[in-house]
């Protein structure tokens, strides 16, 4: 059975973007970027909400992004090879290959996908992840904590849900980012 993994870059105070919608403070160093690529390489399917999908689609729709460096080219290749499922009631069509558009988040469909998938699933974006947390679907939480606090913004984790966590791994990077990996308990 595959696992559902939530991966996010977050500020020390738990936000994925500040109150102005900015997340430039989360721009990874080459060392962190290579690590992120290796994290997502193990996932065969990415689950996204509309906004996260639109942010990530440039890895396929804008060849200039991947052409910037070997690291970026590697990430683009990994991203393009994975299946994507986008949950949106407002998006009319998808702009990338291997991408399916769903109107509603169905926990039972995700359970079926987890049971049948050959590789792990990654959920991207805090709004969609909140649905997955509330449904008890998230198996692992992987955070890259950036050395900044932003005071307010979009929270990386749902405020109305509790989960006990078991620390599985941690790593420090030269730029002050700290990676933590947790198993999500009941």
**Beta strand pairing status for 178-184 and 140-146?**
antiparallel
Q: pLDDT tens per residue, the chain (186 residues)?
A: 899 999 999 999 999 999 998 899 999 999 999 999 999 999 999 999 999 999 999 999 999 998 999 999 999 999 999 999 999 999 999 999 999 999 999 999 999 999 999 999 999 999 999 999 999 999 999 999 999 999 999 999 998 889 999 999 999 999 999 999 999 986
pTM: 0.93
182/166 Cα distance (integer angstroms): 5
138/6 Cα distance (integer angstroms): 7
Provide the domain count of the chain.
1
Domain with 87 in it: 4-184
Q: Are 121 and 5 in contact (CB under 8 A)?
A: yes
CATH code at position 100: 3.40.430.10
Outline where DSSP puts E strands in the chain.
4-11, 15-18, 43-49, 83-87, 99-102, 120-124, 140-146, 153-155, 165-172, 178-184
């Amino acid at each position: 059975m595959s696992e559902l993994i939530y991966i996010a870059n977050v500020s020390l105070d738990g936000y994925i973007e500040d109150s102005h919608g900015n997340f430039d403070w989360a721009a990874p160093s080459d060392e962190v970027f290579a690590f992120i690529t290796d994290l997502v390489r193990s996932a065969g399917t990415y689950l996204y909400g509309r906004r996260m999908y639109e942010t990530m689609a440039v890895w396929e729709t804008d060849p200039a992004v991947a052409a910037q460096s070997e690291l970026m080219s590697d990430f683009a290749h990994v991203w393009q090879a994975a299946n994507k499922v986008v949950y949106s009631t407002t998006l009319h069509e998808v702009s990338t290959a291997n991408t399916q558009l769903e109107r509603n988040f169905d926990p039972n469909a995700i359970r079926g996908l987890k049971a049948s998938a050959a590789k792990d699933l990654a959920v991207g974006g805090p709004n969609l992840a909140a649905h997955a947390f509330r449904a008890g679907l998230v198996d692992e939480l992987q955070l890259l904590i950036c050395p900044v606090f932003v005071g307010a913004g979009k929270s990386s984790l749902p405020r109305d849900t509790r989960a006990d966590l078991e620390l599985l791994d941690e790593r420090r990077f030269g730029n002050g980012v700290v990676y933590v990996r947790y198993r999500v308990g009941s």
